[in-house]
Amino acid sequence: MKIRMRSLILRCAAGAVIIAGVCVMPFFNMQEPVSVMVPRFPAAGPVLRKDVVHAVMPGETLFRLGKMYDVKLEDIMARNQLSASDVLKMGQKILVPGAAALNDVIPLFPSRKWKYIIIHHSATEDDDALSLYALHQRRGWDSTGYDFLIDNGTKGTVAGHVDATPRWIAQKNGAHCKASGMNTKAIGICLIGNFSLEECPEVQLMALVRLIKYLMEYYDIPAGNIMGHGQVPEANTECPGKLFPWNKFRKMLAAETAADLQF
């Protein structure tokens, strides 16, 4: 597997490497190996830890929770009387002992099918991975239609947190953009919020830029293939909203990728 990153690669924990300050660790599911990227942004002071009660979102596993909160898998299992073979249920409450601040965990699967990235908004004011999963199932879909969600802080979520959906974990075709056949070749990212009525919060925009940077580098997707749903030929929608800050987004993404070139 070839990772086309334009940054220095250093060894970190056993079996892992550091790419642009991000720890890339091998991860295995029932079907195929993936790489998990855990962005770590240095805190201004000591890391403050506390017990956290986490509601399990679609596709989350004990391994993923451990990486999200920087807690040993064994500690989570012991506090919740779970074994490694236990399957978490959506909505299940898990006590995470001594949790650090929430990290984003971005699984990256070796694939040549992803050529585009399509940006969406949920067109709702408050949602999370659970509510969108339920909504899309009511529409007759097998799972959330998008590959990634970026929370806005409603329903107890952390604003700017990135959720990888079960559709992405299974590497299924999308259910987010039929126009131009994008469901078979485009990664769908949905920001929770209605950007036809309000501006996109800075924390969500920053999370979007970071996520897209990793996806661009890993899947070799050019900047010209990143577009909003409404910019796709044959699409008839204003998604991700008429107030989405395209000029600001493009400048932020260009600055982020340029920083890698200078690393």
How far apart CA 252 and CA 258 sit, in angstroms, is: 10
Burial of 210 (0-12, 13-18, 19+ CB in 10 A): buried
Residue 128 backbone phi and psi in degrees, to 5? -145, -175
What does the pLDDT profile of the chain (263 residues) look like in tens digits? Answer: 444 443 322 233 333 333 333 443 434 343 444 556 555 555 556 778 999 999 999 999 998 999 999 999 999 999 999 998 889 999 999 999 999 989 999 999 999 999 999 999 999 999 999 999 999 999 988 899 999 999 999 999 999 999 999 999 999 999 999 999 999 999 999 999 999 999 999 999 999 999 999 999 999 999 999 999 999 999 999 999 999 999 999 999 999 887 665 54
User: What residue ranges define each of the domains in the chain, with the CATH number in brackets?
Assistant: 46-102 (3.10.350.10), 108-261 (3.40.80.10)
How far apart CA 19 and CA 21 sit, in angstroms, is: 5
Nearest to 257 by CA among 231, 220, 204: 220
The model's pTM: 0.85
Residue with structure tokens 């506090």? 79
- Of the chain, the end-to-end C-alpha distance in Å amounts to 23
Ramachandran bin of 205, using left for φ above 0, alpha for ψ from -120 to 50, beta for the remaining angles: alpha
